[in-house]
Structure 1
Amino acid sequence: MGRLKVYYGWAKIGNVRKKRSLSVMFENEVQGCRSDRGQRCLQTIQDTVFERYQTEEEEMDARQQNRIFTEYCLFLDEKPIKGSLEKCLQINNEADKNHVSKAMRNRIEEALRKAFLLANPGYKEPCGQLTLNFE
């Protein structure tokens, strides 16, 4: 059986979705996801920017699901992100740190940033209270 993938992208806004969000789609089974119907479904849900293969732990969780995709979203205009692209990318980076190497996370972050800024040319980072970031 083939390895399962993770698709990173920005959710398409339309009749169903009204809010901007970072969309992470996990495949749960290969046959349905990689078929023409599965790929059409993925293309209507998000603008895919980056793909990677799932780790063994992620695959074990995926095999217990009853849907072909599992989606996780980070909404840009809601708390705790409050419209900040950098905060959204930081939260996504933190969420992936147990499964993805630092170099891969940086590639994902850069691809998502580039695609967002291309689609939103007038975007400015909101100014807010200063935060401390300890690493």
Structure 2
Amino acid sequence: MGNLKVYYGWSRIGNVRKKRALSVMFENDAQGCRSERGQRCLRTMQDTVFERYQTKDEEQDGKQQNRIFTEYSLFFDEKPINGSLERCLLVNSEADKNHISKTMRESISEALRNAFMLNNPGYKEPRSQLELNFE
């Protein structure tokens, strides 16, 4: 594992962001990201619920960037998610399958699910005819 981190969380809705999204932030530079200014920037963008260290491959991609963070978002109310928490977590887990273990992906999904349900207590999974199965 490398020295750079990956932060998983839910995006903060405000003046800049108008849509709910699962937000994955990749550090590109440990000094800038872990400074007080970098952490304040991260807190304004998302509510972080899980952190892990990047793999060597992920770290190599990050070192080529000129920003301190790179964000990957899954918009909750748009296609292919269509408001389904389980589908959102499944797509995120599928994106990470080449980099981290299945147990780590399950713990990330569980932390994201718990944080979402805490902030959205009346949430019910939408009924859909389309089923995604990546296994």
TM-score with structure 1 setting the length: 0.96
Amino acid at match of 1:46: Q
Aligned-CA RMSD value: 1.1
Amino acid at match of 2:82: K
Distance 1:134 1:10, change over 3 A: closer
Q: After TM superposition, give the deviation of residue 81 of structure 1 in Å.
A: 0.5
Where does residue 29 of structure 2 map in the other structure? Answer: 29
Distance 1:132 1:90, change over 3 A: closer
TM-score with structure 2 setting the length: 0.96
Q: State the number of aligned residues.
A: 134
Where does residue 123 of structure 1 map in the other structure? Answer: 123
1:15 aligns to what SS in structure 2? Answer: coil
Where does residue 86 of structure 1 map in the other structure? Answer: 86
Instruction: Please tell me whether the aligned partners of residues 32 and 68 of structure 2 are also in contact (alpha carbons under 8 angstroms).
Output: yes
Structure 1 runs (4+) deviating above 3 angstroms are: none
Amino acid at match of 1:93: S
Instruction: Give deviations 1:50-73, integer Å, cap 9, x for gaps.
Output: 000000000000000000000000
Where does residue 51 of structure 1 map in the other structure? Answer: 51
1:31 aligns to what SS in structure 2? Answer: helix
Distance 1:59 1:82, change over 3 A: same
Instruction: Give deviations 1:79-125, integer Å, cap 9, x for gaps.
Output: 01100000000000000000010000000000000000000001010
Amino acid at match of 1:37: R
Identity among equivalent pairs (%): 76
